Amino acid sequence: MQIERHLDPVWGEMLTLIGNGDFNKDQTLVLPLDFGPRILKFLIADQNIFKDFPEHRQDASDSFKLYGGHRLWSAPEDKVDCYEPDNLRIDCEFSENSVLLRDQKPRKFMREICIKETSTWHIEHRLINNSKDEVKISAWPITMLPVHFSAVLPMPNKPRQGLNPNRNLVLWPYTSLQDSRLSSHADFMSVSPDKSSAFKIGYFNAAGFLAAQSENHYFVKYYPPGSQGTHPDFSANSEVYTDQNVLELESLSSYTSLMPGQSIVHREIWLAAERRAIQQDLLNFARESSKELKMPEGFCWDF
């Protein structure tokens, strides 16, 4: 992994991580240092497949801003904890094949995002209980993509028989199952943004990945699915949100009770490719690619 530092006229001081692994060679992650922690851009052949909002950087107020890219929240969603502004400079540490970003300003849940390169991108998210009380939370990484992407939500259904339910679907107050953006198929659902109103669904995803595709690119994030019944939002470990501006792929760790000073860690593996170079549907791409990756303990890819 090659690490470079530069000054952007809009975003300020930035780090670029240029991949050199089997699955991410010449891909670039762009990390801001003047706010965060977050991964702002994911470049493939100089094209950013993440959604960013440079106009929000011009807002001088100290309110929370959706700068875009990839961020870390705590679940369940809270108006205070999640929307605490992250507009100040962060700390950064380097090692031979990783970069660690962490909060510099004290907050209730201190956040760390560690980017490591092996054959692809490994993203480690850590929430630290910085309060004086015991808390029960889930780590909640959110990846923002442009609306020309469509999300693919795998729904493994094996075996296809039995008397008891084996899948769930979680709805938000503004979600309608009649929404034209939602399509249901035998082994997956898809969400294709096409209008301005908000839409969100969640579910327990035993496959352990979420994916998205555009005309030119695939993007897949793998993560440990955990055990059913141990997650927030009616046991959802996977959620997808969209509106007129963005498509979000969201994974969640299991609920964990943390004493002061304790932390929770949630890992993702990212895989992206130019679609024209791999002529196959997204689910097959995710299946076949996952078998080639050296998945850490706790990840599930045999779906």
User: Contact, 49 vs 56, CB < 8 A?
Assistant: no
Q: pLDDT value at position 303?
A: 56
Does the domain at residues 2-292 carry the CATH identifier 2.130.10.10? no
Q: pLDDT value at position 1?
A: 87
Q: pLDDT value at position 257?
A: 96
Q: pLDDT value at position 97?
A: 86
Residue 274's CB: how many other CB atoms inside 10 A?
A: 13
Q: pLDDT value at position 111?
A: 96
Sheet holding 12-18, edge to edge: 2-8, 12-18, 28-32, 41-44, 47-48
Q: pLDDT value at position 47?
A: 94
pLDDT in tens, the chain (303 residues): 899 999 999 999 999 999 998 889 989 999 999 999 999 999 999 999 999 999 988 887 888 989 999 999 999 999 999 999 889 999 999 887 899 999 999 999 999 999 999 889 999 999 999 999 999 999 999 999 999 999 999 987 777 778 888 889 999 999 999 999 999 988 899 999 988 899 999 999 988 999 999 999 999 999 999 888 899 999 999 999 999 999 999 999 999 999 999 999 999 999 999 887 666 688 888 877 887 887 777 676 665
C-alpha distances out from residue 283 to 85, 135, 185, 187, 204, Å: 37, 37, 12, 9, 17
Q: pLDDT value at position 279?
A: 62
Tens of pLDDT along 183-231? Answer: 998 889 999 998 889 999 999 998 899 999 999 999 999 999 988 889 9
Q: pLDDT value at position 6?
A: 93
Domain definitions of the chain by residue range? 2-292
Q: pLDDT value at position 278?
A: 61
Q: pLDDT value at position 95?
A: 83
Q: pLDDT value at position 299?
A: 74
Q: pLDDT value at position 77?
A: 93
User: Contact, 51 vs 40, CB < 8 A?
Assistant: no
Residue whose structure tokens are 């992206």? 272
What pTM does this model have?
Answer: 0.94
